[in-house]
Structure 1
Amino acid sequence: MSQRWFITGSSRGLGRALSEAVLNAGHRLVASAREPARLSDLEERYGDAVRTAALDVTDPVAAEAAMRIAIDNFGGIDVLVNNAGYGNINSVEDTDLDDFRRQIETNLFGTIIVTKAAIPLMRKQHAGHIIQFSSVGGRIGAPGRASYSAAKWGVEGFSEVLAREMELIGVKVTIIEPGGFRTDFAGSSTQLSEGRPEYEAVVGRAASMQRELNGRQPGDPARAAQVILEVAAMGKPPLRLPLGSDALAAIEQADRAKLEELEHWRALSVSTDYPRAQV
């Protein structure tokens, strides 16, 4: 069955791969990007099945205007994908506050702004699916990416709350957690800094690994797009879905370590309760 999609960050990377997969599957799409001219080839290839929108996700007015394009052309939205985002590498000490704010504004507040713009449409429809792009860095603190991880952990918490609320109005929520994919994210989309020598073991290593792995990441964007299409067609989709063997392995290892730490400190944790006799 044909669906009406809205995707942010459609001009490159996973957003571009997903936009093309959506259109090739016979769905309709509002493809959005900061520079919609970079989406003109989609209009040429897919005609009336696609509309493009200029969208800075940090601008609530622009988000509302983009939603209006979906309403005017397709009558609503069945699937919203909050994909737009980026992440730089530097140490906490050397990342200036403006850089922190910009990354959090785009990755977290951008997701919140676009989601809030879409909710009234989906509430009226009593149906829809919101797909939020987080990251393996939204489950594990990524060295050298404090701003990005802070934002993506925020996306995870926001989306978990959102899922509980949206369930009441027939709207599904899925959090996508990609590992390394062969996209522009690891190239010109990222500013890399090794930082001070004191942080070489984590920050410098993260920067050098990103340079070395660029173009050799294990994840295939086209296959990821097909998985997201499959998730969007599910009656009962997962709340969280890691993408890629690297993401799955890292999250699995981190979750085991957290459970072990929780158990190790159990007695100290429960020691803060009032004694049972005083309850």
Structure 2
Amino acid sequence: MSQVWLITGSSRGIGRALAEAVLAAGHKLVATARDLPQLEDLKKRYAENVLTIFLDVTDEQSAASAVKAAVETFGRLDVLVNNAGYGDVGSIEDTSLADFRAQIETNLFGTIIVTKAALPLMREQGFGHIIQFSSVGGRIGPAGRGPYAAAKWGVEGFSEVLAREVGPLGIKVTIIEPGGFRTDFAGASTTLREGRPEYEDTVGKMARYQRDYNGKQPGDPAKAAAAVLYVAGLAEPPLRLPLGSDAIRGLEQNDAVRAEAHRQWRDLSISTDFEPGAGAGRFPWEAK
């Protein structure tokens, strides 16, 4: 069955690959970007099946207009994909508050703004699927990506709450967590700053790694698009879907370390429960 999609950040990277896959599969698409000329070829190739419009995800009116355009053109909105985003590399100390706010505004508030623009429509329809692009950086805090990780961890929490609230209304939520894919995310879309020498072994190492990694990432954007397209057709899609062997490997290793830390500090953690009548000397670190 044909679906109506709206994808933010349709001009580049996985967003572009997904836009191509959606249209090739015969679906309708509202393809959005800040650089509309990059979407012209989609319009020429897919004619009445695609609407290309400008969207600044940080602007509430722009988001509302995009959702309204989807309904006016195609009659409904089945799948919203919040894909637009970017992430620079630099130490927390050396990243200005303006840069922090800019990344969080796009990566987190952009997702919140566009989601909220679509929610009344999907609630009234009684159906819909909201697909949020997070990252492995939304589950693991990589050195050098403080603003990006802060935003993506926010997307994870926001989307998990969203899933609990809108699931009973017939609206599905899936969080996509890509690893490294061969897009320009680590190239033209990213500013890399090695920073001061004190961060040589952390932030500097990450910046150099990103430069060397660009073009060698294991992930294939077309295969990522196919996976998202598949998930969007499921009656019961997953809440989270990591993409890429590096994503799975990193998350499994990180989860194992986290589980071991919980085990190591379990007694201290549960010692903070209130115990009526308990006296001094009940804490694990106190001598008996």
Give CA-to-partner distance per residue, 1:108-130, whole Å, 9 cap, x none.
00000000000011001100100
Query: Any unmatched runs of 5+ in structure 2?
Result: 279-288
Partner of 1:200: 200
Which residue of structure 2 aligns with residue 158 of structure 1?
158
Is 1:43 aligned to residue 43 of structure 2? yes
Q: Tell me the CA shift for residue 83 of structure 1.
A: 0.2
Post-superposition CA distance 1:156-197 (Å, at most 9, x none): 000000000110210000000000000011111000000111
Opposite residue 256 of structure 1, the aligned amino acid is A
Task: For 1:114-263, list aligned pairs within 5 A.
Answer: 114-263=114-263
What residue is the counterpart of 2:110 in the other structure?
110
Residue type of the alignment partner of 2:8: T
- Opposite residue 40 of structure 1, the aligned amino acid is E
Confirm or deny that 1:31 pairs with 2:36: no
Give the TM-score normalised by structure 1: 0.98
Asked if residue 80 in structure 1 is aligned to residue 80 in structure 2, the reply is yes
Identical amino acids, percent of aligned pairs: 66
Please list every run of at least 4 consecutive aligned residues from structure 1 whose deviation after the TM superposition is greater than 6 angstroms: none
Q: Distance in 2 between matches of 1:152 and 1:10?
A: 19
The code of the aligned residue for 2:232 comes to: A
Q: Letter of the aligned partner of 2:241 in structure 1? A: L
Q: By how many angstroms is 1:245 displaced? A: 0.2
Alpha-carbon deviation of 1:277? Answer: 5.4
AA at the equivalent of 2:43: E
Q: Secondary structure at the match of 2:185?
A: helix
TM-score by length of 2: 0.95
Secondary structure of residue in 2 paired with 1:185: coil
Measure, in 1, the Cα distance between the counterparts of 2:149 and 2:47: 38
Mapping of 1:11-22 within 5 angstroms? 11-22=11-22
Task: State how far apart, in whole Å, the 1-side matches of 2:16 and 2:123 are.
Answer: 28
Following superposition, the deviation at residue 142 of structure 1 comes to 1.1
For residues 274 and 8 of structure 1, what CA distance do their matches in structure 2 show?
Answer: 48
**Cα RMSD over matched residues?**
0.8
Find the counterpart in structure 1 of residue 57 from structure 2. 57
Q: Deviation of residue 276 (structure 1)? A: 5.5
Aligned to 2:2: 2
